[in-house]
Amino acid sequence: MHAAQPMRSIAERRVLKPERRRFQRVNVSVLGRFMLPNRNEYPCQVLNMSPGGVALMSPVTGRTGERVIAYLDHIGRIEGEIARHIEGGFAMTINATARKREKLANQLTWLANRHELNLPEDRRHERILPKNPYSQITLPDGQEYRCRIIDVSLSGAAVTVDVRPPLGSAVTLGRMRARIIRHFDDGLALEFSSVQSAEMITNNIC
């Protein structure tokens, strides 16, 4: 029998393991949800990401090689396969075209630098006043509250409502998944799970 080898620290294993990634990963912290082949959805949080792969913290890890479809805040939809398990989650590949990878690289650069450089929130999408300003917000526990939409864009909305869930809470506005990114005097600023089309907003918010 061979003598037991001493346990190496995580840091040592990272140093000893040769770097074979094609893309540089950046540390970002965004929330999201992912779906496995069983069609169930689970919450997750990004630890680090590159245009070619992402490490996710999640209570459910799936099996190596399983297909994953994820919807990440600020980033949108990605898909790939589980490459390996990590402590508290898993790492997955990202299957994407060269154009999609370039877009991901730009998104990651913005996410990685927005706090350090004090960059403003992404306002690339013009805000509009909806024809029907009333909708409802559904909280994670299923409770529903009537709200009034102040304005809305392809990437988010501002609403007045009588509740103030914690920042980062996942909610549903009408039938659209969103996340609370800011409180103001009498309402909430929401960010959609991905950039939407005008038609999707019209059909699913009010």
pLDDT tens figures, 19-44: 345 667 888 878 888 999 988 888 88
Q: Are 78 and 72 in contact (CB under 8 A)?
A: yes
pLDDT tens figures, 91-109: 999 999 998 888 888 888 7
CATH code, residues 10-113: 2.40.10.220
Cβ neighbours of residue 190 closer than 8 Å, sequence gap 6 or more: 156, 157, 158, 159, 171, 173, 178, 179, 180, 181
Residue ranges of domains in the chain? 10-113, 134-204
- How many C-alpha atoms does 154 have within 13 Å on its Cβ side? 11
Give the whole-angstrom CA distance, residue 22 versus residue 37.
27
